[in-house]
Chains A and B, each alone.
Chain A
Amino acid sequence: MFSRSQFDTACKAYVSKHNKWTWHEHSTFPGFGYMSRTTIQTMRSPINCLDEQLEGSSALDNIDEATAPIGIDVLTSQQYVIFSATFQVPTFYFTVHDAKGVPLSLYDILRSTLFRRFAFTGVERSNHALTLPGSSFPLLSQGDHPTLGTPCWYLHPCATAKAVGELMAEQQGKMEEEEEILLKTLETWVLVVRQVVDWGRE
């Protein structure tokens, strides 16, 4: 779908069009750039993690009539579009953590607003992967961020090229400039990812 340099070109075009995304180069080596953004998510159903009670955390309770109830708890999702050298396609990597700074388990991620509701119905779930029954690759699994080396989740890129290719085939011949084609290809990829990820407005 993309060569490394085509990926870079497409992303840079994408970033200048969609200002929520930023382009990052690797701190030392060229050719490891990726784009990222931060989004806010919430839980669809309340999270079941209560704070351990500490004895002796005493009565500082002075009722204050001017204090309003707090809003909805925030989840933060760090999202990355990274080039998969193996599959030569963009890959969607992400992390989700709660307000305490604790990364969410897969179970809780699936109950958050990150993914479209019912995006993964009929999928087999383990602690570290989602797999379609009968599929040879997991849809979603854990892996290190290729540039940052931090633990992430990612959507497996093996079926990407085919899906994007089918959609792009319909656009054939309508575009001339290379950068335009590359950007369109990346946007088409986003369209494919949007089928499961609640991409939001950009």
Chain B
Amino acid sequence: MPVVQFSPFSSLVHPSFWHKLTGLKVDVLKLDDAPLPIHASYSAGRSIRDRETGHDLALAASVSVAEESFESEAHYSPPSGSIVVKGTFKNFNTIEDFKTADKSALFNEEAQKIWEGILATRSTALLTRFLLITFADLKKYKYFYWFAFPAFVAKPAWEIDDIEGWKGASVEFSHSQLTSIHSQLRDQTSLLPFFLVKLDSASQSITISPVEEFSTFFLQAESPTIAFVDPSANPHNPGWPLRNLLAYLRALYPDTTTSLRILCWRDIDLPADDSGWKSRFGTIHTRSDVDPINIRSDTQLKLRPSAVGWEKNTQGKLAPRVADLAPMMDPKRLANQAVDLNLKLMRWRILPSLDLDKISSTRCLLLGAGTLGCYVARILMAWGVRTITFVDSARVSFSNPVRQPLFEFEDCLGGGKLKAECAAERLRRIFPDINATGHTLSIPMPGHPISATSISQSKSDVEKLEHLFDTHDAVFLLMDSRESRWLPTVLGAAKNKIVINAALGFDTFLVMRHGPRTRVEEEKEGKISLGCYYCNDIVAPKDSLTDRTLDQMCTVTRPGLAPMAASAAVELLVSVVQHPEGVFAVAPPPETRHGQTDQNQEAGEWEGESVLGIVPHQVRGYLGQFRNIRLVGAKFSKCTGCSDAVIDTYNREGFEMLLKTFNEDQYLEKLTGLDKLYEESEAEIQGVDWDEEDEA
């Protein structure tokens, strides 16, 4: 006769269980690894119909744990139609403890509890127990765990008649008898995990009773049947709880239990019709005459049989399982996804061809972590830019926080935090996944001579800045003085970076992109090469305290101006990046003060548009009139910032050339030929015969 094989339990963990365990570990248990009582539940076996084959597939017999599993017995309420299982939970503090724990001892302890329950209380309430050991790697959201469902091994094993085997319960019982079992079970205060079924031969009526009444209930009964709520859905395998029930019966009633009629109750819900009963029935046997020499003694029976029941992992090995919740739980990853998701909404709706990766992969260097720097960084972040680097030499001062949105009052205390580092830290606080860094660095400027003692410091600052240019794609010039923009202008031109420049006046701003170094073919086509910040000037940058123009004054500005300029600067960068020609995108013609340009423009047919529209060269904002005007400025061949003379000399001489610029008055003028131009124009002015009398 074939050996009866029992469907093992398999664990079913609800995500809330891990959340609860995390909270419990952090707030309550901490380093306490003492065992805790825990609850789980199982229900009758379920199967699903495979739509393709039409066959029923037996699902694993689940023991479920969820958040409420940690509640006390009184507060643990499993879904209706399920059975509560008590267990022992032990969480280890380290993975090593988890690995090296004496698992056999823990398991045997649990099995012993079941066995003692049988002998001492003769109750079936403790027949199904479980053990759960865990290690929670909270930093990685990884949970190592191992369930065990101890079941006593019957020796010799139970066997079933191979002709009859397991059959549908409706073969043994009538539809009305089964319906009667269903309704009697439902009338119990809680679902009985195990019960006895008795048939009255005269009336053919069915009575059920708790197993504890085994000795009295079955007196002179015909075909007594042992039943249990069966978590297995497999037609040929009864579920795990039956094993300990059989051990219980053999231990307590050895003389009357060598052959048993078993009803595997799987119909918690009434079937739709009388052919729909899922419960199974079979008669099983064990040989009582294995060892006829030994007369069964009380002590021999009381000896605990060996037990099995560790759950296998997903590879089918007897080893722990691992729940890796990192992809779902790491809030940084969630934030990361959410940021992208939000931007992707733009693609879904308005701009299907927007290339977000191109934007987010643009590494941005922000020179200046002041009012403009703070706003620019925030808007870049909103566009999904992942690399933002600040350069600033100052500390946060008391006037800063109200205007500079990355700083707080606290940052000003104790002399103030370094602005660049502080701003970067704030970006990470807003969005942990961002790659934000700050460098405290003062950018040497023309007209601010460098003394002999500070040359080496200055040289290392320049080297650092050069390195930052090399490792970024776009550079924002957001400093508060005019001359500090010179070195970055030269480096940007020499290293072919996208340079976006923003400067504030009291109620006016300038936002522009520096023109790239011209490509030969474009010069041939006669296209206008776009200038840099210095191209309109006929004086070289120098100490600006005595040389102010509209867009070079700092700090005294209408507060709303900085975010406007910052927004325009970032949006200009994004437009450049999205344009197929990138920095070479042709700028639209300038507007007049009346907001009009040529006919093409009015018809909205500017050829050079990207998905985001035109890519202007310069935008000047006039807050006094609430108006922005687009301008185009051509490259100036004698420019002190981007002319070939300057760039070529820098490329050739490097720091030596820069040092001359910082220290020698008129050096740039001589280098570019501006001095000659100046002399020529002076001469011309002298030559003009001003008719002053008419004027008067």
Contacts and interface: CB of A to CB of B under 8 A. Distances in A.
B61 A60 contact: no
A102 B329 CA distance: 10
Given A74-B12, A99-B13, A65 B324 contact: no
B59 A151 contact: no
Contact of A74 (B62, B95, B103, B107): B62
B11 A51 contact: no
A139 to B, nearest CB: 11
A42 B312 CA distance: 19
A102 B325 contact: yes
Given A73-B314, A74-B10, A101-B323, 12 more contacts: A54-B319, A66-B154, A68-B5, A71-B10, A71-B61, A72-B58, A72-B60, A101-B14, A101-B16, A102-B328, A131-B348, A151-B334
Interface stretch (B195-203, B229-237, B446-454, B671-679): B229-237
B104 interface: yes
List the 9 closest pairs (A to B, CB-CB), nearest first.
A101-B13, A68-B5, A68-B237, A71-B60, A100-B323, A51-B313, A57-B319, A71-B58, A64-B308
Interface string A86-114: 00000000010101111101000000010
A113 B51 CA distance: 9
Nearest to A62: B308
Interface of A: 40, 42, 49-62, 64-68, 70-74, 76, 95, 97, 99-103, 105, 113, 117, 126-129, 131, 136-138, 141-142, 151, 198
A128 B341 contact: yes
30 contacts: A50-B315, A53-B315, A54-B98, A54-B319, A61-B318, A64-B308, A65-B5, A66-B3, A66-B153, A66-B157, A67-B308, A68-B5, A68-B8, A70-B60, A70-B61, A71-B60, A74-B12, A74-B59, A74-B62, A76-B12, A99-B11, A99-B12, A99-B60, A99-B62, A101-B17, A117-B51, A126-B344, A138-B348, A142-B341, A198-B51
Could you say which of B61, B107, B313, B327 has the most chain A C-beta atoms within 10 Å of its C-beta? Answer: B313
B232 to A, nearest CB: 7
Given A54-B99, A62-B308, A136-B348, A67 B5 contact: yes
A19 to B, nearest CB: 9
Interface string B50-70: 011000011111100000000
Interface residues of B, number: 70
Contacts of B45: 71
B48 A42 contact: yes
A51 B348 contact: no
Contacts of B59: 40, 42, 71-72, 74
Contacts of B58: 71-72
B151 to A, nearest CB: 8
A36 B183 CA distance: 27
Contact of A51 (B98, B104, B321): B321
Interface string B311-346: 011110011111111011000001001000100100
Contact of A128 (B5, B308, B318, B337): B337
Contact of A103 (B52, B100, B328, B341): B328
B295 to A, nearest CB: 26
Nearest to A137: B348
A71 B233 contact: yes
Contacts of A127: 337
A21 to B, nearest CB: 14
Nearest to B308: A64
A43 to B, nearest CB: 11
B100 A56 contact: yes
B327 A105 contact: yes
A61 B233 CA distance: 25
A70 B7 contact: yes
A123 B627 CA distance: 45
Contacts of B100: 56
B243 interface: yes
Contacts of A105: 327
Given A68-B8, A97-B15, A131-B348, A60 B103 contact: yes
Interface in B202-260: 232-234, 236-237, 243
Interface in B71-100: 95, 98-100
Given A61-B318, A66-B157, A70-B60, A97 B14 contact: yes
Given A64-B308, A66-B157, A71 B232 contact: yes
A66 B337 contact: no
A71 B6 CA distance: 11
Contacts of A53: 315, 319
Contacts of A101: 13-18, 143, 323, 325
B4 interface: yes
B310 interface: yes
Contact of B57 (A42, A56, A67, A136): A42
B662 interface: no
B3 A100 contact: no
Contacts of B324: 49, 52, 102
B573 to A, nearest CB: 25
B276 to A, nearest CB: 12
Could you say which of B243, B314, B352 has the most chain A C-beta atoms within 10 Å of its C-beta? Answer: B314
B639 to A, nearest CB: 46
Contacts of B61: 70-71
B341 A100 contact: no
Nearest to A57: B319
A105 B7 CA distance: 29
B107 to A, nearest CB: 8
Contact of A70 (B146, B312, B323): B312
Nearest to B65: A101
B48 A40 contact: yes
A103 B146 CA distance: 19
A100 B233 contact: no
